[in-house]
Chains A and B, each alone.
Chain A
Amino acid sequence: MNSRPVLLMTFVALFAMAAIGFVQLTDYSSRPGKSGQAPLRVTDVRLSDTSLADAFPAPGVPTLLVFYHPKCPCTVATVRVLERLQPRFRPKLRITAVAYCPGDQQDTWIESRTTTALSKLASSQVVVDRGGKLCKRFGVFVSGQVLLYDGEGRLSFSGGITPYRGHEGDSPSSLDLLKRINTSHDDCGSWPVFGCSMLSDSERQR
């Protein structure tokens, strides 16, 4: 049997597999997750029955809420971006990482390298969002979304801070976040979020 057509077909198959794979991977990486509208003022959200009851109000101190899925590998990039941005924050900033935890899981479920890294950030605390209650109240459905509320409780930034899904590095959104942390803005910066879905379909419907 002539092996040349077989060889040619093999080349074409491998090339096609690689090309399609790269296209799918690119699409996966740059496809933003679905996100809801975050409350423009933190006071608009009922927090008394949540783990954030002690976080607000905090007059004069901006608060950065980092919603994340502890098991989401993509969020590691968000944490690394924060690690690199934090030294450049000029005012005092309180970072609160909201760790999604399914309702039927123990709090230890949130233990992951993402949680560990977030807890190591300066002025940070990790709160457990059992059942995704806070996520739903803040309209966050994608892991890695951050919300910045200024000292007056106004929403200043909403979105992801990575350029792609699970891809660390400088990006316009991260720079925008830095800028809004360091200087006050009247408007709110909105950016797409790249990451795993925070809630399952059943939790989202509840």
Chain B
Amino acid sequence: MTDSARTIESTDTLFRKRYKKECLRVNKFIQWLMVAQWLTGIAFAALYSPLTWIGNEFEPHVHLRASVFIGGALSGFAILWLRTYPTAAHTRHVVAITQMLWSALLIHLSGGRIETHFHVFASLAILSIYRDWTILITATAVIAVDHFVRGVFYPLSAFGIVTESPYRWIEHALWVLFEVAFLAPGCRRLRNEFRELCARQTEIVEAKRSVDIKVEERTKDLVKANLLLAIKTAEAEKMALVAKYTDNAVAISDGDANVEWVNEGFTRITGFEPDEIIGAPEFGFQFGEMTCPQTLADMRGAIDDKQAFNAEFISYRKDGTPYWMAIELRPIPGNDGTTERFISIQSDITDRVEAERQNRLLQQEIVDASRQAGMAEVATGVLHNVGNILNSVNVSASVIRKQFENSALENLEKATDLISEYESSLAEFIEHDDRGKNLPKYLVLVAQSLRNERVSVGREIGDLTKNIEHIKEIIAVQQTMAKTSGLQQELHASEIIRDVLTANKESLTNHAIEVIEEVETPEPTLISDKHRILQILINLVCNAKDALLEADVPRPRILLRTWTQREDVYFEVTDNGIGIRTDDINKIFQHGFTTKAHGHGFGLHSSANAATEIGGRLSATSEGIGKGARFVLRVPVDGRDSAEKHDRDAPSASDRDLSPFDSGEYA
């Protein structure tokens, strides 16, 4: 709906409402008028024609009864109709008809007085209060019909007489119409003016509503603005608190870095009061021989270029003492886009700089101490690992020595001595002497023995060579442990287990320790540092052997098992030896902790470190003393990424004092 249509509708609604109200007001007047006319009619009758006479006799006049009953009926009818249908259009016509009939009645009651006829015209004027010109037509019609019926029709039809001009009623009607001709346009004009008034009022209401809406919107805007202002004010107050109570020195300067305002922090740091520093150039900084010239030049360049600038340099307080200052310069653009001001935030970082210097010194000391400790640890690790291998080397050497001590070479020398003794008659000696007869067989046996001896010694020498090679690798690894990773190569789990058992073969054999190997099918393969794994597993087997010896169990047994799970290869070393106390299980990977009588507390610690370095983890479980122990080494199938990552991200294992939780898991 358009505004125009809505306005028209509102005008119509208002007009109807107010016209109804106006009608109700007129209705009240008409009701009183009806009562007044009734009383007046009775008074007329009582005054003019109270009695009717026949000779000397009399009785109440017909007019008196007519005034009571006809007048009462007319007024009662009109009042009842007004009360029943107060705002209906037909009510106004009923009033018009009733009022005209009242005129006729009053004319009757007043004896047809000419003056009473004015009641007709007065009634028309009264009816025009309704501002409904149609009821004037109704009134005119009623007057015309009344005059015609009573003046012409009834006398003629009832008595056959004509008591007045047959056209008299037309004359009367025309006179009434004459007045109506003026009243009707007046009614119409009043009605239109009334409607126009409603239209104006509607426009005023609409305008007021529009103004109210604008006022409401404006009020909302003002409330928002006030709220925003309150927020900004609160922020400004907080900013003022920050500026006042911060330990930083805050200075606001013009575009050329001349100080315009400083906070209390500025005074606290520099010692300058605001009135001493306002107008000072270069934010009021005091420079001296300790100030870095390059930094100063950079700051001045930033001021010239209207650029932000952060720096730390030495400035001087009012009393001339130098102090380290961190400065943050920020240009504040003006409305035209140019730098209108600078704000500088300075903080005294002297304590921090000193602390950093002390920290650097301490750091250097720690690094040196760590290097010393690392070197000691490396040395310890080398000795431990090499010592383990040296046991095997010693065993191999002992075997070789025993082999040489029991060598068949002595028998061969006996044979050769005998041959030398009988060199001239060797054939006769072999043919006739009993010893000579057995000499070939003896030589065959010696040869056989030497052949076996060579095989045995060769095998031991092979093991010895491997162990020596392992020692070399350990030393090489330990030498590069801090920074370099071991060789990443494809490994087969069965080969690793075999090498581990080879390294410990003699001791295991000598102590009748049963070794059970379980290799999952298909055989687990991995890419990792072989010697780290060997170092760990040899250490674990060696520990297992020691645990078995300490327990002195009737059937010492070591289980070596390997399998693949997800992206990892697992190596398990389980023994039924002395086991580990529950309280100790959390400490066994700590450096220096050992349960052995002659241990150093380094083996498991270095093994755990080695496991971590190759991206794996070493864990231990034991149900307690006498229950054996189980160690599981988890190694990633492809250890290259983890090794590189470990080398890149983590410090060297040898430099770290690993906690148990860093190095293993416990049950």
Contact = CB atoms under 8 A, between A and B. Distances in A.
B56 A102 contact: yes
Interface of B: 48-58, 61-63, 66, 69-70, 72-74, 76-77, 80-81, 84, 101, 104-105, 108, 111-114, 149-151, 154-155, 158-159, 161-165
A166 interface: yes
A56 interface: no
Interface of A: 7, 10-11, 14-15, 17-18, 21-22, 24-32, 69, 71-74, 76-77, 80, 100, 102, 104-105, 132, 143, 162-164, 166-173, 192, 194, 196-203
Contact of A163 (B51, B62, B164): B164
Contacts of B154: 26-27, 30
Contacts of A22: 70, 101, 104-105
B182 to A, nearest CB: 25
A105 B150 CA distance: 38
Contact of B111 (A71, A76, A172): A76
Contacts of A77: 111-112
16 contacts: A14-B77, A15-B77, A17-B72, A18-B73, A22-B70, A25-B105, A30-B161, A72-B53, A77-B111, A163-B164, A164-B151, A166-B112, A167-B112, A168-B114, A199-B54, A199-B55
Contact of B70 (A18, A100, A200): A18
Contact of A32 (B48, B108, B112, B161): B161
B55 A132 contact: yes
B112 A25 contact: no
Nearest to A77: B111
Nearest to A31: B159
A197 B55 contact: yes
B51 A24 contact: no
B50 A164 contact: no
Given A73-B111, A166-B112, A196-B52, A25 B164 contact: no
Nearest to B66: A25
A7 B113 contact: no
Given A26-B150, A72-B53, A197-B55, A11 B111 contact: no
Contacts of A164: 112, 150-151, 155, 163
Q: List 8 A-B pairs, minimum CB-CB distance, nearest first.
A: A200-B55, A167-B112, A21-B70, A73-B49, A102-B56, A17-B73, A18-B73, A163-B164
A17 B55 contact: no
Given A18-B73, A18-B77, A168-B112, A30 B53 contact: no
A32 B62 CA distance: 15
A11 B77 contact: yes
Given A27-B158, A168-B112, A21 B73 contact: yes
A105 B53 CA distance: 15
Contacts of B104: 22
A14 B53 contact: no
Nearest to B52: A196
Contact of A73 (B52, B84, B149, B162): B52
Nearest to B58: A71
Contacts of B72: 17
A74 B55 contact: no
B50 A73 contact: yes
A11 B56 CA distance: 41
Contacts of B161: 30, 32, 192
Contacts of B56: 102, 104-105, 200, 203
Contacts of A202: 55
A50 to B, nearest CB: 18
A20 B232 CA distance: 90
Contact of A29 (B50, B61, B150): B150
